Amino acid sequence: MKTPSPSGSPKANRPGWFGPFGGRFVPETLIEPLRELEAAYADARRDPRFKAELRHELATFVGRPTPLTFAGRLSRELGLRVWLKREDLTHTGAHKINNTVGQVLLARRMGKKRVIAETGAGQHGVAAAAAAARAGLPCVVYMGTDDMARQAPNVARMRMMGATVVAVDSGSRTLKDATSEALRAWSSDSRETFYVLGSALGPHPYPTMVRDFQTVIGVEARAQILKEEKRLPREVIACVGGGSNAIGIFTAFLKDKAVALTGVEAGGTGMKPGRHAARFAGGFPGVLHGTRTYLLQDENGQVLPTHSISAGLDYPAVGPEHAELRRIGRARYVHASDKDALAAAHELCRLEGILPALESSHAIAYLVKAKKRFKKNGVIMVNLSGRGDKDLGTLCP
């Protein structure tokens, strides 16, 4: 729904707010569970044992640190020095596992009896199922039926890990509706259930908590590029759906004003309503799933349908911290089309032997199309947020 202009918004330093974006817009039944979660997370962040266990799991289960790979042949094609942060090499195949391991450890610490999650591309669902299995907790994943059809391999993986996959056949039958169902399920049983939200959105404290669990990407990447190049990159590029992989890598470079930060949204098949998921190109501030952010909506505040060839970017809102980074000019947001993302995926396979997820391919597509705006031999870093095994049905129909 639409909300008032930013002039009446809370101050930027208020917990849960990023300038005029963020907050906690939920039914009364979720206020206390969110307060409980906020307090538990704050306590865990101060506990050396929790932090040590998380580091151990990231190293021995997730497979961190992930490499920073120099894309030599792609670099020669573009006249740049392109480095890929390889989140596709984590356990389960995407950055999502960084967050689910952290949240499931928190769920166990809080004494919760089961976890639930939403998923679009299926990578968050798989990561939640894997983390829950390791912790010995039952897991239920909500997924739109359209996404289940185009991401069938991930549905099978979730089920093999013991998760129950609940098909959501309402609305657009994609991530938006899966998230709505997960929130409803949580509100009906918050005492024993922990909601593992998959991206840097939703009501406070989720945008902050998810970002914190994903900052490991940027911390590693910054140290790695300094070791390899003895300088920081000219630009850091990442795809943006909800925006967790992007905020995870951007955060480490926010104070480095010489480093440009670029998020790439889903341009779909055009800029008409219902044909894309480029929130900054076609949306304006509103509230969805508990947070105030940029949202694709009509003049009456009704959420518009979205489209992307990549299920993980097919969502009508963006994380509130990204909305603030755009407002203050610290990050810029562009979009890449379905056609260009497909071409970029095939190009990276051909040149580097790396199969990117269709989500990550949007970042590669922007780099290829915008190569002339970069200085020759400039150092560019792309966050390769996931691998494309799940997308073979689309990539090779």
Tokens of 254: 């926010």
Q: Strand order of the sheet with strand 139-144?
A: 164-168, 139-144, 114-119, 193-196
The Cα angle at residue 254 between residues 252 and 257, in degrees rounded to 5: 125
Three-state SS string across the chain, please? CECCCHHHCCCCCCCCEECCEECCCCCHHHHHHHHHHHHHHHHHHCCHHHHHHHHHHHHHHHCCCCCEEECHHHHHHHCCEEEEEEHHHCCCCECHHHHHHHHHHHHHHCCCCEEEEEECCCHHHHHHHHHHHHHCCCEEEEEEHHHHHHCHHHHHHHHHCCCEEEEECCCCCCHHHHHHHHHHHHHHCCCCEEEECCCCCCCCCHHHHHHHHHHHHHHHHHHHHHHHHCCCCCEEEEECCCCHHHHHHHHHHCCCCCCEEEEEEEEECCCCCCCCECHHHHCEEEEECCEEEEECECCCCCECCCCCCCHHHCCCECCHHHHHHHHCCCCEEEEEEHHHHHHHHHHHHHHHCCCECHHHHHHHHHHHHCHHHCCCCCEEEEEECEECHHHHHHHCC
Kindly list the strands in the beta sheet with 17-18, ordered across the sheet, starting from the edge strand earlier in the chain.
Answer: 17-18, 21-22, 291-295, 284-288
Structure tokens at 181: 């169902």
* CB of 17 closer than 8 Å to CB of 9: yes
- What type of residue is 227? K
The candidate with the shortest Cα–Cα distance to 357, out of 341, 369, 371, 340, is 341
Q: Hey, which residues are catalytic here? A: 96, 118, 385
